[in-house]
Structure 1
C-alpha cells in the first residue's frame, strides 16, 4: 500500500492530539496483524472540556512520564498532568491504559522544531523507519483560509514536521470532526492525487471496529466515534463540540487515505510561514497575521469566560470565532490604507 520495501516498524503519530490517539491506536493494531512492529505517538493537547487551561500540556507539568530525549517522552496509564490547580488525565495516558503499553509524546510547545525532533527521537528509540501522521477528519489538508476551519494549529505544525521527515499522512474518516465537509476533504485528497501524492487507501475491518470500541470506552474523541457510527449504518448529520459544528456520517467515514506528506505540505500556502518556528506561539502568530483563527485563540477566550463563571455553549464558540475574523479583517483593511 504505502510501505517502502523493507519497512518493518511504523510509528503512528496522532498529530491533532487528544482523541486522534484512539484512531492512531486502531491503525497501529491493524499493522501488527499483518506482521509489522508498530507504536503510537501523540501531541498532548486536550480540548477545553477536559483541560480548560489554554494550549498544549508542557512536559514539566506531566507526572509519571519517562524522558526519551529533549523533545519526547513515554507516558503510561498512570501518567497525568497538573494544570491550573487541577489534575488532568490526558488522552495519551488513557490510550496507554487501554493498550497496556507506553505511548510516546512529543513537545508541541516547541513548535515545528520540537515535533520534528521529538519524532526523530521516538523513531530512533523504537527502531521505526516510517512515521504515519494520523489526522481524523482531514483538517491537515486545509489551506488555512476555509471559513469552517477551527483548529489548524496543531495539524499544520504536525504537517510541517512530518514533511521534513518524508512521512506518510493518514487521513481517516473524512469530515468527521465537524470542520471541513466530507466533500471538501475528498476534493483535497483528489488534488493531492493529481500532484502524485496518493499512496493508497484502506477500509476498517470488523476487528478494527471492535478495537476502536474498546479504546473509546476510555478515550474521549467525538471525531473518532464517527467510524463506529458509520460501521453501524448511520447516515446523516450528527452534532459535535456543544452544537457548534456538525458532521455528515456516510460509509466514507470507514476509510483511511494514505498520502505523501511532502506533497500535502506543498499544497498548503501557509506551511512555509511556520516551518522555522521553534515555539507554538511563533506558529500561532504567523497564522493570526494571515487572519487564520486557531484552536489556541478559541481556548484563550473560552478560558476567560470560564473564569467568569460563564457556561460555554455552541453559540458562544461560534461568536468567538466570528469576532476574531471580523476584528482581523478590519485591522487588515486599516493597515492597508495609505
Structure 2
C-alpha cells in the first residue's frame, strides 16, 4: 500500500523522511516523498528553490507533479541532491514546486493524493520551526515549512504532522518547543539510521546529521552554520512527536497569512511583513558575496593547524561536535571543497569522526 510523506522543508527533511519511513513502516513498500528541491548554496549556487523547469529527465506523475528519478539532472548553474537521493534510496521522490504559492502546492498535494490514494499521509519537519509564530529572534528559514503547512491544511485528506529532532535545526530551542509537542510516536535508534547511513556521508543537511547522531547516542553541543550556532544534542533529539495540524496552523502566523497566495513572490512579501525577512533574500545576498570571493585552495599542510586553532576556540565555547559544513566555512573554504576536506580530516584523524559529525578533541589529545 502506498504511503505519502511530505518533507516540510525540503533538503534534509527528505532524507529524514526516508529514515522515518523505514523506522515506522518497515521494509515493505517504500513511501513516495514529496519534497522541495532546495539545497541552499553549498549544493545549489542559485538562490531559492528549484522548479520542474530547472531539471531535465523528470517523469510525470500527474499533470502538476513530477518525479525526480536517478537519471534526472538540474540544469546548470542550478544544483540538486534529489537525483542522487533517488539513486541511493528506494523511495520515489516527487518535486514540490512552490512557485505558484500555496494554491499551487495545494493543487499538487491534492493531485498526488488522488493519484496515489495513499494509506497514510505524514507531514514531517526536522527541528520544529514549522511551529514558529514568525517573530522569534532565532528563526532563520520559516518560508518552506509555512508554505507546506498552509497547503496541507487545505487538503481534504487526513494528514498527520510529525516533528522530530526538536531544536536540532537551530531555530526554536527545544525548551520552547516541548510544550507544543504531542506524544512521542517513536524514538529513533542507531538501527533506524542504517537505511540512510551512506547518504549521510555526503548530504550537507546539518539538522538531519544531528538527528542521526543523536539516534546513534551522541550527546553534547554541536556548532553549526556559518555563524557557529551552538545546538544541544540531548535525549530529545531522536524523538518523533505527533502534533495537531490545526494547532500548528493557528500558531504559525506566516502560514495563515499566505493561504491564498499564487506565487512565490507573494509568499516572500508576506514573509518580510510577518517575520521581518525572506530567507531567499539572505541567499541572494550571500550568493552575490560568494561570487566576489577569490577562489580558495585546499592546502593539506595548512588545514590541520587551522583546524587545531578552530578546535581550541570551539572547545573554549563548550563545543563538543561540529558539522563538516561548519568546518568548511570556518576555515574559509567554499562549499565545493566540503567533500575533499571531510575526507582529508577523516583520513588524518579517524578517531574524531563520530559519523556523521566531527568530534572536537579534548584538550589532552590536542596536538597543539
TM-score of the two chains, using structure 2 as the length reference: 0.74
Q: Which residue of 2 aligns with 1:242?
A: 226
| Kept in 2: contact 1:139–1:180 (CA 8 A) | yes
Who is 1:188 aligned against?
180
Aligned match of 2:167: 175
Q: How far has the Cα of 1:201 moved from its partner?
A: 2.1
1:299 to 273, 277, 283: 283
Secondary structure of the structure 1 residue equivalent to 2:75: strand
Distance in structure 1 (CA, Å) of the matches to 2:78 and 2:274: 35
CA drift at 1:269? 2.8
2:133 pairs with 136, 143, 149, which one? 143
CA distance in 1, matches of 2:203, 2:64: 24
User: Structure 1: where are the runs of 5+ without partners?
Assistant: 1-7, 190-197, 317-338
Supply the distance in 2 between the matched residues of 1:75 and 1:9 (Cα, whole angstroms): 17
Shift of 1:138: 0.6
**Is 1:134 matched with 2:124?**
yes
> How many residues are treated as equivalent by the alignment?
298
Unaligned 5+ segments in structure 2 are: 296-327, 333-368
Q: Distance in 1 between matches of 2:227 and 2:99?
A: 29
Measure how far apart 1:188 and its partner are.
2.8
Q: Is the 8 Å Cα contact of residues 44 and 106 (structure 1) preserved in structure 2?
A: yes
Q: CA RMSD in A?
A: 2.5
- Structure 2 counterpart of 1:30: 23
User: Aligned pair in 2 of structure 1 residues 267, 49: CA closer, same or farther (>3 Å)?
Assistant: same
What's the TM-score, normalizing by structure 1? 0.81
- How much does 1:224 deviate? 0.7
Shift of 1:179: 1.6
The Cα shift of 1:282 comes to 0.4
Matched, 1:44 2:41: no
State the secondary structure of the residue aligned to 1:69.
Answer: coil
Q: Is the 8 A contact 1:167 1:260 kept in 2?
A: no
Distance of 1:188 and 1:208 partners within structure 2: 25
CA distance in 1, matches of 2:229, 2:99: 27
Question: Which residue does 1:281 correspond to in 2?
Answer: 265
In the alignment, the residues of structure 1 paired with residue 275 and residue 86 of structure 2 have an alpha-carbon distance, to the nearest angstrom, of 37
Structure 1 SS opposite 2:106:
helix
* Distance in 2 of aligned mates of 1:291 and 1:229: 31
Tell me the SS of whatever aligns to 1:146.
Answer: coil
Q: 2:212 aligns with which of 224, 228, 231?
A: 228
Equivalent residues of 1:94, 1:219 under 8 A apart: no
**Equivalent position SS for 2:34:** strand
Q: Distance in 1 between matches of 2:279 and 2:162?
A: 21
Decide whether aligned partners of structure 1 residues 300 and 105 sit closer, same or farther in structure 2, where only a CA change above 3 A counts: same
1:157 pairs, out of 143, 147, 162, with 147
Quick check: 214-223 or 41-50, which moved more? 214-223
CA contact (8 A) 1:177 1:240 kept: no
Q: CA shift at 1:310, angstroms?
A: 6.7
Query: Is 1:63 matched with 2:47?
Result: no
1:330 aligned residue: none
Pairing of 1:250-261 with structure 2 (within 5 A): 250-261=234-245
Q: Flag the 1:278–1:188 CA change in 2: closer, same or farther, 3 A.
A: same
The question of whether the paired residues in 2 share the 8 Å contact of 1:137 and 1:176 is answered with yes
After superposition, the Cα gap between the structure-2 partners of 1:313 and 1:292, relative to the gap in structure 1 and judged at 3 Å, is farther
Tell me the alpha carbon deviations over residues 237-287 of structure 1, each in whole angstroms, 9 at most, x when there is no partner: 111112442311012111111122222101223322100011111011012
1:292 Cα deviation after fit = 2.6
Q: Secondary structure at the match of 1:251?
A: coil
CA distance in 2, matches of 1:187, 1:303: 37
CA distance in 1, matches of 2:23, 2:33: 12
Q: Distance in 2 between matches of 1:62 and 1:219?
A: 19
